[in-house]
Amino acid sequence: MNDDSGRTTATRNWRRDARCRDEDPDTLFVQGARQRDVREVCKACPVRTECLAHALDNRIRFGVWGGMTERERRALLKRRPDVVSWAALLEAARRAALRPQQPTAPASAPAPRRRASSGEQGPPAGGSGPRGANDRRVG
């Protein structure tokens, strides 16, 4: 983006990698439904999180930043007035998403029981199933 206000060293760094760096600003600062098209540029941008955080933290009102239209950002800011630093929040979320998943249940936990349903396929021929050796139905 070509906003020159409040640049910091960190700001300059992420802007260097911006996918839209060489785009004509007139094509990026569009109004209304055309902003949805501009968001496509952001989808593969490597600094999308930094860009969005910058726009939210600095209350930038116009244009598409970090893949969000001005309307979407306004709604987000209204929903979350408690957020002091979007940069910190989004960075923490990104780190959490990149962290390897921990198992949610201990390995010794019993396997979940399966309930037979009409759409469920039966066991292979000769296996124990509703009609197999473990079936205790009478009649």
Interface with ligand SF4 (CB under 6 A): 1, 18-20, 41-42, 45, 47-48, 51, 64-67
CB of 23 to ligand SF4, least distance (A): 8
The smaller minimum CB distance to ligand SF4, of residues 44 and 98, is found at 44
Cβ atoms < 10 Å from Cβ of 58 = 14
Shortest distance in whole angstroms from residue 61 CB to ligand SF4: 14
Name which of 72 and 129 has its Cβ closer to ligand SF4. Answer: 72
Q: Which is nearer to ligand SF4, 14 or 129 (CB)?
A: 14
At 131, is the secondary structure helix, strand, or coil? coil
- The residue with tokens 């598409």 is 64
Instruction: Compare residues 41 and 77 and give the one whose CB is closer to ligand SF4.
Output: 41
Closest distance to ligand SF4 from the beta carbon of 15 (Å) = 7
Q: What kind and span of H or E run contains 112?
A: none
| 96: phi then psi, degrees, rounded to nearest 5 | -65, -35
Q: Which tokens hold the place of 123? A: 């066991």
- Closest CB to ligand SF4 among 22 and 82? 22
Query: How far apart are CB 26 and ligand SF4 at their closest, in Å?
Result: 14
- Residue 36: helix, strand or coil by DSSP? helix
d(CA 63, CA 74): 12
CB of 24 to ligand SF4, least distance (A): 12
Residues 42, 67 contacting (CB under 8 angstroms): yes
